[in-house]
Each structure stands twice: as C-alpha cells, then as structure tokens.
Structure 1
Amino acid sequence: MILRPPFLLTTVGSWCLVFLAAFEAMAVTTVMPQITADLNGRDLYAVAFSAALAAGVVGMVGFGSWADRRGPTVPLLVSIVVFAAGLIVAGTASSMPVFVAGRFLQGLGAGGDTVALYVLVAAVYPTELHIKIFGAFAGAWVIPSMVGPFVAGLVAAALSWHWVFLGVVLLVAIATIMVLPSVRGRDKPPAERTPMSAADWRRLARAVVVAVSVVAVSSYPIVLVVAGFALVGLLPKGTYRAKPGLPASVLLVGVAAGIYYGTDVYLPLLLQERYGLPTWLSGITLTTGALAWAGASAIQARLADRVDPGASVRLGAVLLASGAAVELVTVILHLSPVVAAAGWLVAGAGMGTLFPRISTLVLAYSKPGEEGFNTGAKSITDAVGGSASLAVAGLLFSAAPFIGPFAFTTLLGLAAILISRRVMAPMPVAA
C-alpha cells in the first residue's frame, strides 16, 4: 500500500507538492480582482493567469527531458525551488509586472515538478502501485478545485492576499523534506546520463516560443500566429484540421480549456465588481463548478464502458458551451448572480463529463511507444488553450468588459460542439 512503509513519506510528500501546485492554480482566481486593484494592474489581469499556464508548458518539456536523461532528483529539487521562488516574488510584489513574473516562475516550477514526480514514481514504486499513486495525484487536483477559491477568499479577508502565496512556502518546504529520503541516489550514474538530443532542444525551443508568444498576445495579438506554428511539432498531425480520432481529441482538450479558463477567471471579477459579492462568496461560486466537475467525473468512472464514449464527449461539449453561454446572457440581461452560479455548475459538469473520456480516448488511439508523446500533447494543448484564451479574453475585456470575454468563450463553445462530433474514429489494431 502506498500509505505504508517504505512509501508513506514519499506518498504524503509528493501528494502535498501536487496539492500545493494545484491550490495555487485554483486559489489565485478568487483573489486576483483584489490583487489587480491593489497593484493598479487591471490591464495585466489576464496575463497573470496566462503567464503561469504558458510557463507550465516550458516546465513540462524542459524538466521532463532533463529527468528522463539524468534521473528525477536534481530536476525535482530545482523545480521546487523555482516554484517556491515564484511564490515569494508574487507574495511580496509591489507592482503588477513583478507579480506576473512571480506567476511565471510558479508555472515553470509547477510544470517541472509534475513531470519530475512522475519519473520519481517510476523509480520508487512497483508497477502494481502506479495506478494507486496516480489516482492519489488526481485527487490532489480535485480537492483544491473544491476548497481553494473559498480558502483563498478567507485568507485574503482575514490577513491579506499576500499570504495566499507566502503562506504556502513553508508547506512546500515541509513536503520537500518528506520526499528527500526517496530522491537520494535516484539520479543515474554519470556514465548513464545522456545529453539533450537535437530533437529535445527543438521541442524545448518550440515550448519557449509558445510560452513567450502567449504572454505577449495582450500587447501584440499577431504573435498568437507564431505560437500556432511553434506548436506544430508538439501535436499529432492533423490536429489543426480536427482530423477524426486522435487529432480531434487533442484539439478538443485545448478548446475546452479555453472555454473553461477564459470564463472562470472573469467570473469572480464579475461577481465582485458588478454584484458587490465578498471575495469568499465569489469563491464559493467557483467551488460549485469544481464540485460539478468532480461529480460528473465520478459518474463517468462508474459508467465506464456502459455508455458510448462519443456520446459522453458530445454531451460534455454541449454542457460546457451552455455554461459559458449562460454567463454571457447573465451579463447582457443583468440577471441574478444565482443564474451565473447555476451556469458555472453546468459548465463544471461539462468538463467532468468530457475530460475523463478524452483522456481515455487519447490512450486508446495511441500505438505502442506513442503514449508519452500523445498524452504530452494533450497536456500541452490544455495549457496552451487555456493561456491563449485568457490572453485573447484580456484583449476583448479592454474593449467590452465582461461581454467581450464571455462572447468569445461562447463562440469557442460552439466550436467545441462541432469538434466533439469528430473525436470517434477506428482504433489502432494494437489497441
């Protein structure tokens, strides 16, 4: 069992590291309106989110290759230090550009420690326990999505938003101490370490171009085209054409992430500015969406093979698109915030219905030896889709507050419905 010696400390420590990275990703949404008000940085509101997501792409690609070639010890510890440094920079920031820099470091470190932990799991745990520890990691993401926004709102109200970041640093240090015994000696001997190949450097360069382009979109919209070209070598062929099967599945992940995150970050701002809700109460609204996501995921897991996966994907896309459309209608017609909360519950149910099925399909469409590339492509489109959507939504918010971003994510919802009809295709013979 993963909660018994000799795995207990490694399990708890690594779970906490995943949990804390997830907490920061979820909790900051609630307090961002207050941060941008204090730092006079409303024009960088979306960039503060997109910077972290985009940096995560670089972290996943760079630290992942490093861990594969050297072993998990040094890459994991370095990524944790980078994440902690980002917390300190963001928590002590006195200007919005400095805060954005801290968020970039957080994303870089979080992306790196996620993949380094996966390499550590392969080195520490026997194969039969992998599914248990990865299931625990999944839970480490679900819990923050449910409690993170609410807790962050309470901390900001009782202390200040600075402690949403600074308070996590000590917890990161404790979690790191727990995993130290397991990481000692896990790096490969010097003779077995291999240098980065030309292909690895190209992938890393593409990831950097994507990250920089996405962050720069708010100032130079044309660079989004550059990001699109840089992604080509990181995605399955035919992704941009929504070719049926694997390419359409990977594309749908990015579009769904764009809908969810492009709406999610402006919902607390809407509730606090237009409706005067306190920070903690707007956080509860986000929590309802997270609960619906978790509940729908549990239903999909229980239904397993009893429901056609294509039907589940199509239903999830419709629910997600409907949730985004409800937020747009709420703004246009000045409806009650209860309607906005209900719409976000529907969107969360859509994500919970959609994502487990897409993850399963990506693996099912993968031939032996392609699993890593394809699952990595799914993670990259998730991060890039969310960060690019945030950047575009930020531009639209400047032109038409709230209506602009929500109209954009509603259009993405229509695209998701169309793409969802192309995810099913014949499986490879090996599957």
Structure 2
Amino acid sequence: MSSATDDPTSSRPAPPASPPDGSAGKAAVRPELFGPGRRATTVGIVLLISMIAFEAMGVGTAMPAVVADLGSVSSYAWPFVAFTAASVVGTVLGGRWCDVRGPRGTLVTAPLLFGAGLLVAGTAGTLAQLLVARVLQGLGAGAVAVAVYVLIALVYSERARPAVFALMSSAWVLPALVGPPVAGVVTEQLSWHWVFLGIVPFVVVAVVLVLPAVRDLPAGSAGAPATRRGIVAAALAAAAAVAALSWAGQHPTGWAALVVAVVALALLVPSLRRLLPRGTVRARRGIAAVVACRGLLSGAFFTVNAYLPLMLTSTHGWSLSMAGVPLIVGALGWSSAAAWQGRHPDLSRPVLLRVGFACVAVGIAGLLLVAPAWGLPWLALPFWIVAGVGMGLGFSSLSFLLLARSADSGAGAVGFDSAAAQLTDQLSQAALVGVGGALLATTGSPATALPVLVAGLVVLAVTGTGIAGRTAGPARAAAGR
C-alpha cells in the first residue's frame, strides 16, 4: 500500500523541509489535520479512540458492581476474558478486511458493532447477556484500532502522521483522568448500566464525523494479497490462547492454571506463524523489528502499570486513591512527550524509539528502589513520569514506523501489519501479567515477588533499546504472502 504522499488522488505538494526547532513543521501539518477537508476526519479519529479509552477506563471501575449484580466473585474475570479474546479476532479479521476491501467498511461496521455491544451491556440482566455484549465490544474495538491505522496511512502524509499519533495519545488522557471517578459516581448514584450507555453518543458522533473521509476512500486495497491460508483458524486459536492466558494470570494458584497456560502456548505458537511477520521473534530488520518492539515496549510498561498500585498499597500502605497518582502522572508524561514529538516531524523515529525505550528502562529500574519493603514509595512519582515520557516518544514513533515499514513492502498489507502489532500488545501483556501473578502465588508476598518482576521487565526494556535501530531497515515479505 502506498503512503499518503504517493496517493495519486492527492494534489498536495510535498511540504518543504522544516528547521530543527520544528516551527515550520507545525505550520505545515496543521492545515492537513484541521483544514476544511480534514477537520472532521481528525476529530472523528480522536473520538473513535476516546470511545475505546472511556470504555476501558470506566468498565474496570464499574465491574465489581456489575459482577455483584449479575454473577459472583468467581465470575469476575470472565467479562475481561471475553473482551480480550474477541478483540484478538476483531484485530486479525479487521486487518485482513482492510487489506482486501479497504478500511471503508470496517470504519463504519466496527464502531457500530462496538456500539451494539454497549447497548447490549447497558440493558443486560444476566451474566450471559453481559458476556455476549463484551464479545461484541471486543470485536468492534479490535477492528477499529486497525482500521484507524489504515485510514491514517491513506489520508495523511508522512509529515503529518507524528501529529496524528500525538492526538491519538491525547485521546487517552481525559478518559484516564476522569473515566474512573465518573464511572464510580455514575455507578453509585445511578446504575452501572449507564457506564455503558453513556458511551453510545461518542460512537454515533465519531461515525458521523468519519463518514466524509470514508466516502472518499477506495473500496479495495490495490496490491493486497488475495488469500492468506488459515487466517481465520489462526485468529480463533490465538483468541482462545489469549483468553486462556488471561484466565491463568488471574487464577495463578494450583495445577489448573499451569495446565491451561501450557495448552494456551501449544495453541498460540503455530497460530503466530500465520499472524505475525516472519522474523518477529528474531526482530529482523524492518517491519518484523517494529512489531517485536511494540510487544516489548507495551509488555514492559503496562505490566508495571498493572502492578504498581499493588506495590504501593500492599507493601507501603498507601490508599487506593494515592496509589493511582503515579498512573496519572505517567499518563500526563506520555501525552506531553507524544505532543512534543508530533511538533518535530523531521526527527529520526528509530532514534526517538531508542530514547523512549531507555526512558522506560530507567523508569522501571527506578522502581527497584520502591518495590522492596525497605523501598521509598514516593520515588514512584518521578520515575513513572520518566517511563511515561518514554512511552510518549516510543509508542508514537512505533506507530509512525509501522506505517512507513509496511509501505516499504509495497504489498498492501498495512492492515495485516497493524493487526500484528496490536496482537503483540495483547499477547505480551497477557503473558507478563500472568508471570507476575505466578510470582505472587509462589512467594505469597508482593514485597518479594514484585522486585523480581520489575528486574525482568528492565531487561525487556533494555533489549528494546538495543534492537530499536533495526526498525529503520527495509521491509520483508510477511508470513503467508
């Protein structure tokens, strides 16, 4: 698939080079983002991401009340497992649909599917209905995330993409700050049903705003491979494996979790041969290295994000509200760094990625001074700001490099490669959170288990720093092409 700068339907002249301070870059890309022909598309993309973010942040807060109303504590994990498994299927099949048919259908169908899931959840009276709703939401959310990347590749020039990805990062900030408290108030004062129903207007507005851009897109994707054998079976097997890993991570005690994890890996390994670019495990230069770095960066950061509140409450006696403060400052660091890189489109993205990995490594390593019982809990604040800055630089750079390296291959596979990157996100987090749960179950003490987990995650971040340069290389032929 050609980049937007090579789109024959585009009459935009190539923008001039900007000075190192990025001022000309800001002036050059702003009309492309918010000019009369792009404003609705840009705002629509931000709303599409925001609706997923609000759902992610709000539902976690409301879920204890949901499960208490519809099921029991033993059922707590299943709504999350259903969403995760369905999002894997939505990610893979949405990427395939975008490559073969173009993103036009996905950008309308997937948000509507997500919205239907919200309506079903908002009217749920049984746990079974809630699980159906979570499956619909997962399918829609997975496909939306991939389709947005394909839309960006088609509509925006390379110089504008860093700014677009900065806006996408900012779309998570408000939900991260206000989503949990608002969901808590709505659940307590009204009903948890309204946590789901309240997001539906975001879906409607986002679809309406994206429709003008969708109408102008081609119906198909020139050069996309006609077939990829076994893609549906591989997607379903991967979904089952991710669901199993998620369940095992939330139930780490006993032999059952170990057996489930082993079976999950037996399903997952052959599936990944179909779903990831060749050479991903070895971080082969080009798109494979981009996908591998995405898994390393997301796995390291979000696993710590999941366990940091436990570290502060269980080991150091912080309240839940205080334990959430490092997560907030980390999100602010992320959005600030993403906005900064968006104003400097001429900087080398592999270099920014290396700097981002280094910041994440430093931020996680600093928690080795927090995790033990003798640690200093207040250090979590400055170190997690550093880690957030690293994610703002690294994640945005990976998004840019994903489209650039996928376009290098000339095979019309932006959807496949975007789905692969998102899949490594999901797999790395499911696996590493499960490892943390196993360590906690084995040691019985967060003060003992979490330093070991943090040390291992530092190694992953340092590994990413070492292989970041490979993302600048030429693309390869993807698996199954």
Give the superposition deviation at 1:202.
2.1
2:198 equivalent among 156, 167, 176 = 167
CA change 1:54–1:83 in 2 (3 A) is: same
Distance 1:73 1:415, change over 3 A: closer
Q: Using structure 2 for the length normalisation, give the TM-score.
A: 0.70
1:113 aligns with 144
Name 1:348's counterpart in structure 2.
388
CA contact (8 A) 1:90 1:165 kept: yes
2:261 aligned counterpart, secondary structure: coil
Task: Give the corresponding residue for 2:458.
Answer: 413
Whichever residue aligns with residue 473 of structure 2, its letter is M
Measured on the aligned residues, the alpha-carbon RMSD in Å equals 4.3
Which residue in 2 is equivalent to 1:156?
183
- Secondary structure at 1:83 match in 2: helix
The separation in 2 between residues aligned to 1:194 and 1:284, in whole angstroms, is 48
Secondary structure, counterpart of 1:424 in structure 2: helix
Can you give the 5+ residue segments of structure 2 that lack an aligned partner in the other structure?
1-30, 249-256, 477-481
Distance (Å, rounded) in 2 between the aligned partners of 1:429 and 1:146: 33
TM-score (structure 1 length as normaliser): 0.77
1:411 deviates by 0.7
Alpha-carbon separation, structure 2, partners of 1:110 and 1:348: 24
Hey, what does 1:381 align to over in structure 2? 424
Residues of 1 paired with 2:371 and 2:126: CA distance? 30
State the distance in 2 between where 1:246 and 1:318 align. 21
- CA gap 1:40/1:66 in 2 versus in 1, 3 angstroms: same
- State yes or no: 1:427 paired with 2:458: no
- Alignment-mate amino acid for residue 156 of structure 1: A
Instruction: Give per-residue Cα distances to partners, 1:371-396, cap 9 Å, x unaligned.
Output: 62545433332232223333444444
CA distance 1:246–1:188, shift in 2 (3 Å): closer
Deviates more, 1:163-172 or 1:216-225: 163-172
The corresponding residue for 1:85 is 116
- Deviation of residue 288 (structure 1)? 0.8
Select the residue among 339, 349, 363 that pairs with 1:323.
Answer: 363
Question: Is contact 2:106-2:143 (8 Å) kept?
Answer: yes
Offset, 1:174:
3.3
Q: Could you say if the C-alpha distance between residues 273 and 105 of structure 1 is closer, same or farther in structure 2, counting changes exceeding 3 Å?
A: farther
**Structure 1 CA distance, aligned partners of 2:224 and 2:434?**
35
Q: Which stretches in structure 1 are left out of the alignment for 5+ residues?
A: none
C-alpha contact (below 8 Å) 2:114/2:136 kept by paired residues? yes
Q: AA paired with 1:343?
A: F
Identify which of 46, 63, 66 aligns with 2:97: 66
SS class of match (2:230): helix
Q: Does 1:15 align with 2:46?
A: yes
Pick aligned residue for 1:211 from 236, 239, 252: 239
Match of 1:277 among 319, 330, 333: 319
1:206 alignment partner AA: A
Q: 1:294 to 1:57 in 2, by over 3 A?
A: same
Q: How high is the sequence identity, in percent, across the aligned residues?
A: 34
Pairs within 5 Å for 1:171-320: 171-180=202-211, 183=214, 188=219, 197-199=226-228, 202-217=230-245, 218=248, 219=257, 220-222=260-262, 223-243=264-284, 246-269=287-310, 275=317, 277-279=319-321, 281-300=322-341, 309-310=350-351, 312-320=352-360
Q: Name the count of aligned residue pairs.
A: 420
- Is the 2:313–2:319 contact (alpha carbons within 8 Å) kept by the matching residues of 1? yes
Change (3 A) 1:409 1:110: farther
**SS of match in other structure, 1:236:** coil
Change (3 A) 1:75 1:304: closer
Q: Deviation string for 1:86-128 (max 9, x for gaps)?
A: 33455566787876664443232112123345556678x5x66
The offset of 1:289, in angstroms, is 0.7
Partner residue in 1 for 2:17: none
Are the counterparts in 2 of residues 297 and 353 from structure 1 also a CA contact under 8 Å? yes
Secondary structure at the aligned position of 2:198 is classed as helix
Offset, 1:259 = 1.5
Q: Is the 8 A contact 2:241 2:265 kept in 1?
A: yes
The one-character-per-residue Cα deviations of 1:182-228 (angstroms, maximum 9, x if unpaired) are 65697849xx99999541x5223322221210111214111134213
Q: Distance in 2 between matches of 1:96 and 1:273?
A: 31
